[in-house]
Amino acid sequence: MTDDARWLAATAALAARARPLSRPNPAVGAILVKEGRVIARGWTQPGGRPHAEAVALEAAGDAAHGATLYVTLEPCAHRSGRGPACADLVGASGVARVVIGCMDPDPRTAGAGLARIRDAGIAAEHLPSPACEASLSGYLMVRRHAHPEVTLKLALSLDGCIALTNGESQWITGPEARAHTHAMRAKADAILVGGGTLRADNPRLDVRLPGLAERSPQRWVLTHGKAPEGWSALPSPDAITGMDGVQYLFVEGGAQAATAFLAAGLVDRLLIYRAPILVGGRPALGDFGLAALAGAHGKWRMSERRQLGSDTLEVYEASPCSPE
């Protein structure tokens, strides 16, 4: 990895602090580096403004002169009511160099931000960064496909069940796995369960980790009917194209809801929490329309595996090129 790629990866890690409070704007990170040292950092502030570059440049002041700015997403070329375009701010900042990890598909910027910085006489380049792209995955999904990125979480027994036959499912996994789920909720804009889970468990779906309560996502229920107060109704998985401002959707089951999202081909990531118990109960999934086993192979790539107390977490990413 080159130094530039390493700085971009560090900037992508910093951007995680903005998620999900930056919505509806993307969670962006920016780092100013001079003589091999970080002199200022910034990430998108709650509500989407100020942007990461503006925060870092403000923190650096005159020290920005001659520095290199690393930023996960191309600086915006469009003005908002709340300040100048970031490309203009960067152009006037005195930085010597700008390295961008991911170009912005927003048609108001889409290359115009980079061009404007170059027009200001600054050496600016796009260095494609998988870390930056991953840190912006929900935003890029909305821009490219007009719907949020979907993560499906399932808490399973060893025999692949999500509940006893009588419906009891609290709790299949232990406290470490449940705390991890809460941390995942804190990164989502919206969380969804099926109508059956809402009726059976009446779940709070909030984030119960110290200091993170304000990061509790919007609550959605997949239902043909109406949503109770405090919830929004999603009439079908395909309707996620209408979830305005939602970049990251966390689906927590139950079995019918999970099956419906898989059948619609809308699951981008699987979080499988597996507890070392056998329950002989309700299976996690029903028939989601797979006609041949060959169509199942190559679909999911494991990106992470870790132990959480006595449970195991496996994370799988959907492969974009695999057969359905």
Q: What DSSP assignment string belongs to 232-261?
A: EEESSGGGGGG-TT-SEEEE---HHHHHHH
Closer residue to ligand NAP (CB): 30 or 260: 260
At its nearest, how many Å lie between ligand NAP and the CB of residue 263?
8
* 125 beta partners: 99
Binding to ligand NAP by residue 64, rule CB under 6 A? no
Smallest distance, ligand NAP to C-beta of residue 272, A = 9
Three-state SS at 204:
coil
- Kindly tell me which of 94 and 203 has the beta carbon lying closer to ligand NAP: 203
Tell me which residues in 137-156 interact with ligand NAP (CB under 6 A): 154-155
In the list 236, 307, 319, 322, the residue contacting ligand NAP (rule: CB under 6 A) is 236
Q: How far apart are the C-alpha atoms of 116 and 128, rounded to whole Å?
A: 19
Number of residues that bind ligand NAP (CB under 6 A): 27
Region near ligand NAP per CB under 6 A, out of 37-45, 65-73, 91-99, 166-174 = 166-174
Instruction: Determine if 186 is a binding residue for ligand NAP (CB under 6 A).
Output: no
256 binds ligand NAP (CB under 6 A): yes
Tell me how far, at minimum, the Cβ of 205 lies from ligand NAP, in Å.
Answer: 10
Structural contact between residues 285 and 251, judged by C-beta atoms closer than 8 angstroms = no
What lies within 8 Å, CB to CB, of 207 at 6+ separation is 182, 183, 185, 186, 213, 215, 216, 217
Q: For residue 253, which phi and psi values (nearest 5 degrees)?
A: 90, -165
Within 92-174, residue ranges assigned H as helices are: 112-119, 130-135, 137-145
- Per DSSP, 83 falls in state B
Element (H, E) at 269: strand 269-274
Cis-peptide, bond into residue 228, ω within 30° of zero: no
| 176 is known as an active-site residue | no
Nearer to ligand NAP, 9 or 193 (CB): 193
Q: Check residue 217 for interaction with ligand NAP (CB under 6 A).
A: no
- Shortest distance, position 163 Cβ to ligand NAP, whole Å: 4
Residue 226 φ/ψ, nearest 5 degrees: -100, 160
> Which lies closer to ligand NAP via its Cβ, residue 220 or residue 300?
220
Q: Does 172 bind ligand NAP (CB under 6 A)?
A: yes
With tokens 């005195």, the residue in question is 94
CB of residue 225 to ligand NAP, shortest distance in Å: 5
Q: Which position among 105, 111, 160, 167 is part of the footprint of ligand NAP (CB under 6 A)?
A: 167
The single residue among 89, 260, 272, 279 that binds ligand NAP, judged by CB under 6 A, is: 260
Active-site pick, 53, 74, 149, 252: 53
The stretches of 150-309 forming alpha helices (DSSP H) are 175-185, 195-201, 255-263
The secondary structure of residue 197, as a DSSP letter, is H
Q: Which residues are catalytic?
A: 53
What is the binding site for ligand NAP (CB under 6 A)?
A: 154-155, 162-163, 167, 169, 172, 193-197, 200-201, 222-225, 235-236, 252-257, 260
